[in-house]
Structures are given as C-alpha cells and as structure tokens.
Amino acid sequence: MNMPSNPSRNPWTLAARAAKMNPSVIRELLKLTEQPGIISFAGGLPSSKTFPVAEFQAACAKVLRDDAAAALQYAASEGYAPLRALVAQQLQEQSRAAGQIWEVDPAQIMITTGSQQGLDLVAKVLIDPGSRVLVESPTYLGATMAFTPMEPDLVGVAGNDHGLDLDDFQAKSKGARFLYVLPNFQNPTGRSMGEAGRAALSASAAALGVPLLEDNPYGDLWFDQAPPACLTARNPDGGIYLGSFSKVLAPGLRLGFVVAPKTVFPKLLQAKQAADLHSPGFNQRLIYEVMQNGFLDRHVPTIRSLYKAQRDAMLLALDTHFPSAQTDPEASLTWNTPAGGMFLWARLPAAMDATALLPHAVAKGVAFVPGAPFFTAQGDPRSLRLSFVTSSVEDIHRGVAALAACIQEQRNK
Amino acid sequence: MNMPSNPSRNPWTLAARAAKMNPSVIRELLKLTEQPGIISFAGGLPSSKTFPVAEFQAACAKVLRDDAAAALQYAASEGYAPLRALVAQQLQEQSRAAGQIWEVDPAQIMITTGSQQGLDLVAKVLIDPGSRVLVESPTYLGATMAFTPMEPDLVGVAGNDHGLDLDDFQAKSKGARFLYVLPNFQNPTGRSMGEAGRAALSASAAALGVPLLEDNPYGDLWFDQAPPACLTARNPDGGIYLGSFSKVLAPGLRLGFVVAPKTVFPKLLQAKQAADLHSPGFNQRLIYEVMQNGFLDRHVPTIRSLYKAQRDAMLLALDTHFPSAQTDPEASLTWNTPAGGMFLWARLPAAMDATALLPHAVAKGVAFVPGAPFFTAQGDPRSLRLSFVTSSVEDIHRGVAALAACIQEQRNK
C-alpha cells in the first residue's frame, strides 16, 4: 500500500449545516449570570421546590421491585404503552373541559427525550434546505436552534398581546411547511392566545393549508383559569402537538411527547428510532407511576399557586420601583401581566439596550435575558425577559430593586 | 381576510430526506419473532439477569435523598461532570492496560442518550448530502439508519475474519468524511480486529486523512482476554469514539458517551443542545453512583462468564447438530467463533436464503436475523446473525436443534 504521510493535517470536514449551528446566545449570557450571589431572573428553570421527590422515591422503589427487567431493557421506540394511553386520556379530558372534543388515539403518541426532541424530529421530517418555516416573533430559541440544522428559511410572524397577527400570517403563509406556535404563556413573552384568536388561527391555517406545530410546555401553569382548548384539538389532522413533563413533574428525567397525525407519525417514529432508539423506559415508568390516582390534579395546583405568588411579587415590586410606568412609559421600564407560565416580558426606557445593560445589572447582583435574540430578524433592543419562577419572593423584591437602581444609574450616565 | 376553503386536503409536505428513512427491516422481522414460545436468537438484548438491580435501588435512594434538586433539574448539555471525569479515567486506564497511552480530557467527553445518539449527532455535524461515508460491510444497521437522514453516499468496505480489507479501504478512501468501524465483537458478525490490523488501519487512516468513527459498545464483553487498545487511542485527533453503558449496566437508562477531538466537540455539543438539551441528569447520577468503588471491575466479569457459557453452549449445539460443517461446508451451516460480545455469524448451505428460511424457522419455534440487510449493497443471502446472550443454555440447545431440523426440512424440499 502506498500511504502519503501527512498525518498532521486536520482530517475533519464539517457539514455545511454545522456552520449554521451556533452556541445558544442565551446559554453564553447565562454563564455571565451563574456567579454566586446573583439573583437570576434569567434562566427558565422550574422551582426545585415543586419536584415531587417523595413520589419519585416511591416510584423508583416500585418499578425496580416489580418491573426491573423490563424497565432496564431496550424497549419500543414509540414509548411505554401505559404512559402513552394515560397521555391520550389526559389530553382528551383537558380538551373536553375546555369545550372541545379531541379523540386522541394512543397510537398517535410518541414519548420523546424532552419536548425538545420533538422539535428535532419534526425538523428532520418536515424541513428541506430553504423550506419556509413560520415562527412567532419573538419565539422560543430552543426551537430555532432545533430547526436551524435542517436549514429552513425562518420567517417571523408578528404578534400582539393576544397572539398572532393573522394578516401577517396569511401574507407570509404561501408554501410554508408549518407554523410553530406556543399559544399558552409563550416563551419568551408570557403572552397567551384567547379563544377568539385560537379559533381564527385554526380556521385560517386550515384554509391556507399550513400545518401547525403547537408547543405546549406551560399550558398547565395557569393562575386564574385554564386556557382555551389547544389548537391541535380544533383540527387534529393539521397539527402536531408537543407536550412535556418538565414543568409539572421534573425536567431532569427528560421526558415529553409528540401527538402527530397518522400521515406523519410513521416518519417521526423512524426519525426517533435513528436518533436514540427510545427514551429511557425506566424514566417513563417513573412518570407513569407518579401520575397514578390523579396525582397531577393535586400537585399541579401547588405549582400554580407558588408561581402565581411569585408573579404577583414581581408585579408588586415592579409597580413599587417603576411608579411612572403608566404615566411616562418612554421613561420607565414597562411590562406585561402574564396569566400563567414562567416569564414576564418587559421593555426598557427609550434609547436603552438590554444587552448593553446586562453586565451592569449583573454587577448590581441581578440578571435577566435580553429579548433581542428571540427575534428571527432585528429584535427590539429594549425588550427583556424576566423569569419569576426560580427566585423566592424575597429575592424577587431585592432583584427588582437592584434592576431599578441599575436602570436609573445607566440612564443618568 | 380572504380564506380559500379547502380544509380537507393533506397539508403536510415531507422533507426529501424523510423519503430515505425506512422502517428498520430488522425491527419488522423481529415482530415476526415476538410470539410467545419462540426461542429468539434474533434480538440484540442484553440478558436481564445481568442488570444490577440492587445497586440501582441503592443509587436511586441515595440520589433522591442527597441530590434531588439538582438531579431532577435542567442541566448542562455536556453531561454530569463527575461522570465525564470517571469515563475519562476509565478510558485512560483501559488503554494503558492495553499498552497504549491515551490522555483523555473530561472536556472532550459528552454524555449522550445512548450511543445511538452519538451516531445521530455525528451524522448531523459531518455529513452533507452526497458525502462519502465508509462503513464496514456488513455493519450495524442502527448506524446506517442514523446516517441516512443526512443523505450520505454510503460505501461498504470489505472485511475479513480479522477486520477490514485495507486495500479496499484505501481504494475507497478519497474524499471520505469518515470510516465508521466497530473493532470489537462487531455487530452483526461478532468479529474483532487484532493488534496488527488496528495498527495498520490507524496508520493508513491517518496517512490518508480519513477520520475514524469508532463504536465500541461490546468491548468490555471479552471472554478470554481483553482486546487490543482502541483505534482512537492511537490517533486521538483523528477519531471520534462512542461508548455505552447499555451492555455493562443496563440499556433502559439510555446513556452512552462520545469522546471527540477539540476541533469537532463544540459542534457536536451544539447539535446535542438542539437535539434534547441534555441527557437525563437523574440517570447520569445513577450510573455514576453504581460505578463507585470499582463496581464494574466486579460486575462485568459476571457478564463475561455468563455470555461465554452461552456462546460455548451455542458452539456445542452447532457442532452437535451440524456435524459436517468442517467436511462439507457447502452442504452445512457454518459459523465463526466470536471471542466476545453478543453475536455469532453463520452461513446457510449453498442455494439457501436466510430471509426465506426465517418464517419456516419461526414456525419451528426459533428465530434469527437474516444477514443481508446489514450490507450496504447486495448482501450474502446465506448469512445470518445468531445472538447467544438472550436465551438460556437449555433454550440455546433446543433452538439450535429446531434450526437444524428446519434447515434439513427445507433442503429436502
């Protein structure tokens, strides 16, 4: 054999799509905020107080006592059948309670490694290079991060306080592979779509032939009343629905699910098989055991009331420290009032820039996430996202005070 | 708004790559074999007798008692730092014991959702449509399933009893993005590369500038002596190494790892983040806890001796039921003698076809996997894979007897 000897050159050639992958801007920013003593409104971490540890302890003991050989073995790519059936039943019940009949067949449900994996699988199955993919503007960064490797043409659809601007959606819909939408307590804005907005979007999408990719990680975290029925329930053949156990049980087990129409499900399943064979069967059984006997009906209300109290604390602190928000919004921080979820969306006084402000805020002991990276195109530099779920009520008050002092100081410079 | 009303048409357009995804041939075949009472040599399932259930029980209790808030929370995409450090240390020690110095930095290790996910991430980062990707012929079907959505030009490199045909590798190497190779107890053939073959392949790949993607799920399952040092240890900058906890602890926790050079690691990490954010932190801690105090040094030998006894039982049964294998190989089943792992590779008498034989074998109560689907091009229709790890010694004898009777009957038709 004739071997050229140049072993020192770099033998790796990256795929073109790799050049489009970038480190999450937010993840880089979060490193800034991970210093001891910082009050962080930045991360989207559920409060660890809400994790049902005793129930997980009991579930681990039961599964390993009664079903270890199956729980620790390879398993079906679709997921653990009893969990799939339970999810189908819950979706049907929630939908019925919201006034919408949705017949969910467990055969349409696939358990995924977090709902993030649902985004990755959908991207693989539905996006060609250059495919038009519509997203809300702003939208969840993890979704654009999952779509980007498949090289879509991402197009932002304008939103308003109640959801999407339907005229903008219609204007941009031609040839779109799908619209990605978070109707409940959206990340990053905390906003929700009302019943009228959902009915109109569902009808418009069906008429235009644009499928919906509906992501609903926060829907159970409502504060005063349950949100209207989900979009997929209104037109199941035209939607893929992503759900998650991360916000109602625990993110560290990495389990979510996809509900897909029978035309798309087999391809998603093949993509799932190739991606990780199946999600951990042990974890699926833990979630299933913990959910027995209506546990979520007792547990989720405790999460709602905790987060509601923390949202209220943040609203009160904002009112206290930014008293001119109503009377002089260009000179003050302004914010919305989310009806659930984890995030509040705020806007700095005129001419300020949230990304530029962040290091000063961190120096004062408080962190947030600038809003601009959540937009597909040029984002509003004044916007920022505040999470109210990770910090205690006391820290929320101290953190908002520090933020107010920092904004004041920077405005006076 | 002007809405055309044709809500009944199918709104979904699949990506071109979805057309190339196919249900795993083997998975479809396995459905045939999943009937009660069938002795299955088909699946690649570790024996559930080897799962350390008591140790997992203790680990669950400890993690949920001491570290629940972190174990159940979102976590770093790279994985649990103590587990990464432990993996690095083990790889270094194994390599040193095999006479090769390999400095593994924990920063190069990423924990994945099974080593299957490593294949998916590598495919995303290294394969463009049309990229030449070399694989052994035959090779692991899960790998081609993971590569296919990224639309490579898969090229099979011929093998022999000791590994790869280096002349064929060199002839096909031009422009190859990487060579995917399983040097230890390969799936499906059970064959292993010797020291000389590894040294030559490593030198040849380095000289030709072809990176190696080394998959090593079975390396710990040796029967008489540990295999030579892995390929990546010989040229760390030119290789990505995939490892798994599935065969030494349990597949149902879905954990594996990737070791990648610093030129490729950041892109794999971004792909990981987009794919599922991170692998379950709870499971990573369980594996870490179970591995404390040299547990694998005591546990893995028990797996080796179990599987060795079962391999020996299969060899004995084959010798008994196919007495003319040596004297008249065209008229008998023939087989190899794997030195570890889970599989044995066999060949039917001349003019027989393993795919055609399978339903007859199932009717007689025994199942196997035909070998042809493991080849990228036209596969040997006489070849088949026999797993010796899932069935008991008694069932192995009964199953081989049934297989022999079936082959005899079909030959006489």
* Tens digits of residue pLDDT in B109-144: 999 999 999 999 999 999 999 999 999 999 999 999
Query: Cβ A13–B177 below 8 Å, yes or no?
Result: yes
Question: What pLDDT, in 10s, does the model give residues B259-295?
Answer: 999 999 999 999 999 999 999 999 999 999 999 999 9
- Measure in Å the smallest separation between the Cα of A277 and chain B Cα atoms: 7
Query: Cβ A279–B131 below 8 Å, yes or no?
Result: no
Query: Cβ B3–A204 below 8 Å, yes or no?
Result: yes
CB-nearest to A51 from B56, B72, B177 is B72
Residue A238 falls inside a structural domain? yes
Dist CA A320 CA A259 (whole Å): 44
Of B272, B290, B308, the domain-final residue: B290
Q: What is the ipTM score, two decimals?
A: 0.95
Residue B65 falls inside a structural domain? no
CB-nearest to B60 from A64, A250, A261 is A64
Torsions phi, psi for A111 (to 5 deg): -85, 135
**A258 with A79: CB under 8 angstroms?**
no
Global confidence as pTM? 0.95
Q: Which of B114, B289, B272, B278 is nearest to A246 (CA)?
A: B278
C-alpha to C-alpha distances, B339 to B220, B248, B298, B311, nearest whole angstrom: 11, 17, 20, 9
Neighbours of A200 (CB within 10 A): 18
Please, where are the H alpha helices in A191-294?
195-208, 231-234, 265-276, 281-290
Dist CA B339 CA A97 (whole Å): 61
Is A196 near chain B, with CB under 8 Å?
Answer: no
Q: Is the pLDDT of residue B334 over 90?
A: yes
Q: What is the DSSP letter of B214?
A: E
Backbone dihedral region of B280: left (phi > 0), alpha (psi from -120 to 50 degrees) or beta? beta
- Write out residues 281-300 of B within 8 Å (CB-CB) of A: 281-283
Q: Which of A138, A281, A113, A233 is nearest to B273 (CA)?
A: A113
Quick check: helix, strand or coil at residue A257?
strand
- State in Å, rounded, how far the first CA of chain A is from the last one: 71
Q: Please compute, for residue A251, the number of CA atoms within 13 A of its CA located in the half-sphere on the CB side.
A: 20
Residue B404 falls inside a structural domain? yes
**B180 and B281 part of one domain:** yes
| Residue listed under structure tokens 């030559």 | B200
- Measure in Å the smallest separation between the Cα of B413 and chain A Cα atoms: 37
Sorted by sequence, the CB contacts under 8 Å of residue A254 that are 6+ apart come out as A113, A114, A246, A279, A280, A283, B113, B276, B277, B278, B279, B280
Q: Which domain holds residue B112?
A: 72-290
Of A290, A320, A351, the domain-final residue: A290
Is B130 near chain A, with CB under 8 Å?
Answer: no
- Measure in Å the smallest separation between the Cα of A202 and chain B Cα atoms: 11
Q: Is the pLDDT of residue B164 over 80?
A: yes
Q: Read off the pLDDT band of B1 (50, 70, 90).
A: very low
Residues of chain A positioned with their CB less than 8 A from the CB of B57: 60-61, 64-65
Query: Cβ A17–B128 below 8 Å, yes or no?
Result: yes
Dist CA A54 CA A48 (whole Å): 13
Query: Cβ A72–B281 below 8 Å, yes or no?
Result: no
Residue A235 falls inside a structural domain? yes
**A303 and A227 part of one domain:** no
Residue A97's Cβ-count burial label (10 Å; 0-12, 13-18, 19+) is exposed
Residue B281 falls inside a structural domain? yes
- Token code pair at residue A2: 């004739």
For an interface test with B, the pick among A147, A157, A202, A267 (most B C-beta atoms closer than 10 Å) comes out as A267
Q: What is the pLDDT of residue A5?
A: 47
Residue A26's Cβ-count burial label (10 Å; 0-12, 13-18, 19+) is buried
Residues of chain A positioned with their CB less than 8 A from the CB of B154: none
* Segment B238-244 mean pLDDT: 98
**B273 and B355 part of one domain:** no
Dist CA A345 CA A370 (whole Å): 10
**A282 and A307 part of one domain:** no
CB-nearest to A18 from B60, B208, B267 is B267
Q: DSSP labels for A149-171?
A: GG--EEEEEEEETTEE-HHHHHH
- Domain at B214, CATH number: 3.40.640.10
The partner residues of A222 in beta bridges, in order of sequence, read A340
Residues of chain A positioned with their CB less than 8 A from the CB of B56: 64, 68, 72
**B218 and B340 part of one domain:** no
Query: Cβ B72–A235 below 8 Å, yes or no?
Result: no
If you measure CA to CA, which chain A residue comes closest to B269? A23
Domain count, chain B: 2
**A257 with A87: CB under 8 angstroms?**
yes
Residue A14 falls inside a structural domain? no
Is A278 near chain B, with CB under 8 Å?
Answer: yes
Of A255, A290, A325, the domain-final residue: A290
CB-nearest to A114 from B46, B207, B277 is B277
Q: What is the largest CA-CA distance in chain B?
A: 82
**A322 with A308: CB under 8 angstroms?**
no
Q: What is the pLDDT of residue A1?
A: 41
Dist CA B376 CA B51 (whole Å): 34
- Domain at B352, CATH number: 3.90.1150.10
- Measure in Å the smallest separation between the Cα of B146 and chain A Cα atoms: 5
Residue B285 falls inside a structural domain? yes
Quick check: helix, strand or coil at residue B343?
strand
**B89 and B205 part of one domain:** yes
**A146 and A238 part of one domain:** yes
Own/partner long-range contacts of B353-357 (Cβ < 8 Å, ≥24 apart):
B353/B381, B353/B382, B354/B381, B354/B382, B354/B383, B354/B384, B355/B381, B357/B384, B357/B406, B357/B407, B357/B410
**A146 and A243 part of one domain:** yes
Is B31 near chain A, with CB under 8 Å?
Answer: no
Query: Cβ B252–A282 below 8 Å, yes or no?
Result: yes
**B244 and B95 part of one domain:** yes
**B95 and B199 part of one domain:** yes
* Segment B18-36 mean pLDDT: 75
Is B11 near chain A, with CB under 8 Å?
Answer: yes
Q: What is the DSSP letter of B340?
A: B
**B335 and B282 part of one domain:** no
Q: Which of B149, B136, B147, B151 is nearest to B184 (CA)?
A: B136
Q: Read off the pLDDT band of B153 (50, 70, 90).
A: very high
Residues of chain A positioned with their CB less than 8 A from the CB of B79: none
pLDDT tens, chain A, 413 aa long:
444 445 457 899 999 999 888 776 666 766 776 778 899 999 889 999 999 999 999 999 999 999 999 999 999 999 999 999 999 999 999 999 999 999 999 999 999 999 999 999 999 999 999 999 999 999 999 999 999 999 999 999 998 877 899 999 999 999 999 999 999 999 999 999 999 999 999 999 999 999 999 999 999 999 999 999 999 999 999 999 999 999 999 999 999 999 999 999 999 999 999 999 999 999 999 999 999 999 999 999 999 999 999 999 999 999 999 999 999 999 999 999 999 999 999 999 999 999 999 999 999 999 999 999 999 888 899 999 999 999 999 999 999 999 999 999 999 88
**B282 and B313 part of one domain:** no
Residue B321 falls inside a structural domain? yes
Query: Cβ A21–B142 below 8 Å, yes or no?
Result: no
- Token code pair at residue A130: 């250059």
Residues of chain A positioned with their CB less than 8 A from the CB of B252: 70-75, 280-282
Residues of chain B positioned with their CB less than 8 A from the CB of A116: 274-277
